[in-house]
Amino acid sequence: MPARASTAEAIVIAGAGAGGVRAAFTLREQGWDGRVVLVGTEPPYERPPLSKTGEYRLICGGAALSEAGITFLAGAEAAGVDTAAHVLELADGRRLPYRSLLLTTGARARRLPFGGAPVHVLRSYADSAALRARLAPGRRVAVIGGGFIGLELAASAAALGCRVTVIELGPRLMGRAVPARVAATMAGRHVAAGVDLRCGTGVTGLAGTGSGTEITLAEGTAIEADVVVAGVGAVPETMLACAAGIETGDGIVVDERFATSAPDVFAAGDCCRYPHPLYGGQPLRLESWRAAQEHGAAAARAMLGETEPYAGVPWFWSDQHDYTLQVAGLASAADREVVRVRPDGVEIWFGLSRDGRLVAAAAAGPGNSVAKDIKLAELLIARRAAPDPVTLADPAVTLKSVLRSPVAG
């Protein structure tokens, strides 16, 4: 059991997204009976639906928070950290002394480097509501960026009857985190749904016209749209840490216990850069719902004295049309690939390291048809298994039996 402290001591959490909320509850689950103060500019709500159905759904209501003895300072904005005095300063002048401070400040949507016409982005519910108010059957929607957010929005807009074009600078969709073969499956689904995919072309300018926005492409052509949305990545919210002299660099730099360079200050979720033990301590910044929660929980335990490093397998999903894509592990760590073609036609992609370890798996298919296999792959990745590539490719051998074979263990 973690050490208990006097009730006067507070653990303060700056940021009430998935990571911050999970951290707050984990502190209680782990037996911390001091104060827990959660600071958030907005009520804690789920972000995954924003690019899909647009539904507003709370992570938990005020009653659940107060029942757990979590003080939620709604509408409060963290403005500064006095790391020497152990105080979080709020924009309204309040000062919150802390025993430990967790920064779960998240990320913000990156914006295009030029103006010329209004461009939507998606991070908050307000962003989502503003965008959805403009989507209607027949509207021409241009999505700049063929990553997860852009593609989920493209699918949502297409489902609402919009005419959608996706413009991606890279040679293919989801180039950063998804293997080419799996991205191609998803691209096929988009094309079948009538989405116009333009890969390998950048945007060089935007201009308002009488009837909409003209988007000039690097190849020289232009397309016109009624609604323009950019899904060009996220920027970690590091200002608070930076201003306090805490080490940052594409995220708030943390160690394997989510501790920052300042004493008793931790960071978790989208805003942090974490040295992952499964990938040789390579610093990773993950923007995913599950990572935010797992980081939050692990940081909470670390604040209470846990010393075991967090080694959760990176995992994320994306819903586009009626397909779901899942990725476990780190596709970029793969040195060679193996594909299993299942009898139902779904392809499961496996990435192996140079020394034969399974380091990533990915697949896209209808509904949740890829979930079981990706989950089993995740378990193999977690155990640093080096399964036989021939077996991996053979759909007649279940991944469960691979997991249970002595070689994998």
Partner 1 sequence: MSQWIAACEADDIDPEDVIPFEHDGNDYAIYRSPDDAYFATDGHCTHEKTLLCDGLVMGGVIECPKHNGRFDYTSGKALGAPVLVDVRTYPVKVMDDTVYIELP
DSSP string, 175-227: TTTS-HHHHHHHHHHHHHTT-EEEES--EEEEEEETTEEEEEETTS-EEEESE
At 180, phi and psi to the nearest 5?
A: -55, -40
Q: Is 25 in the site for partner 1 (CB under 8 A)?
A: yes
Min. distance of Cβ 368 from partner 1 in angstroms?
Answer: 4
Give the integer Cα–Cα distance in Å for 269 and 273: 9
Residue position matching structure tokens 């793969």? 334
Of 99 and 290, CB closest to partner 1: 290
Could you give the 3-state DSSP secondary structure of residue 332? helix
Query: C-alpha 57: how far from its chain's center?
Result: 17
Min. distance of Cβ 99 from partner 1 in angstroms?
Answer: 24
Min. distance of Cβ 46 from partner 1 in angstroms?
Answer: 9
Could you give the 3-state DSSP secondary structure of residue 95? strand
Of 46 and 196, CB closest to partner 1: 46
Q: Is 323 in the site for partner 1 (CB under 8 A)?
A: no
Give the C-alpha distances (Å, rounded to integers) separating 151 from 52, 58, 146, 221, 231: 10, 24, 6, 22, 8
Of 98 and 289, CB closest to partner 1: 289
Task: Give the x/- contact pattern for partner 1 in 346-385, rule: CB under 8 A.
Answer: ---------------------xxx-xx--xx---------
Identify residues 108-167 at the interface with partner 1 (CB under 8 A).
none
Min. distance of Cβ 26 from partner 1 in angstroms?
Answer: 8
Reading the block at residue 257, the tokens are 């216990």
Min. distance of Cβ 297 from partner 1 in angstroms?
Answer: 8
Q: Is 318 in the site for partner 1 (CB under 8 A)?
A: no
Out of 32, 258, 317, 350, the only residue in the binding site for partner 1 (CB under 8 A) is 317
Of 248 and 293, CB closest to partner 1: 293
Of 31 and 161, CB closest to partner 1: 31
Min. distance of Cβ 113 from partner 1 in angstroms?
Answer: 35
Q: Is 400 in the site for partner 1 (CB under 8 A)?
A: yes
If binding means CB under 8 A, how many residues of this protein chain bind partner 1?
A: 17
Of 297 and 299, CB closest to partner 1: 297
DSSP summary character for residue 113: S
DSSP summary character for residue 138: T
Of 105 and 326, CB closest to partner 1: 326
Q: Is 310 in the site for partner 1 (CB under 8 A)?
A: no
Of 71 and 369, CB closest to partner 1: 369
Give the integer Cα–Cα distance in Å for 261 and 259: 7
Of 48 and 106, CB closest to partner 1: 48
Identify residues 285-304 at the interface with partner 1 (CB under 8 A).
289-290, 293, 297
Give the integer Cα–Cα distance in Å for 375 and 363: 11
Q: Is 405 in the site for partner 1 (CB under 8 A)?
A: no
Contact 371, 389 (CB under 8 A): no
Give the C-alpha distances (Å, rounded to integers) separating 184 from 91, 149, 191, 366, 386: 47, 17, 10, 14, 27
Min. distance of Cβ 133 from partner 1 in angstroms?
Answer: 25
- Dihedral sign, Cα of residue 325, residue 330, residue 336, residue 342: negative
Q: Is 22 in the site for partner 1 (CB under 8 A)?
A: yes
Min. distance of Cβ 367 from partner 1 in angstroms?
Answer: 7
Query: C-alpha 147: how far from its chain's center?
Result: 12
Of 163 and 290, CB closest to partner 1: 290
DSSP summary character for residue 314: P
Min. distance of Cβ 382 from partner 1 in angstroms?
Answer: 13
Give the integer Cα–Cα distance in Å for 360 and 377: 8
Binding interface with partner 1 (CB under 8 A): 22, 25, 289-290, 293, 297, 315, 317, 324, 367-369, 371-372, 375-376, 400
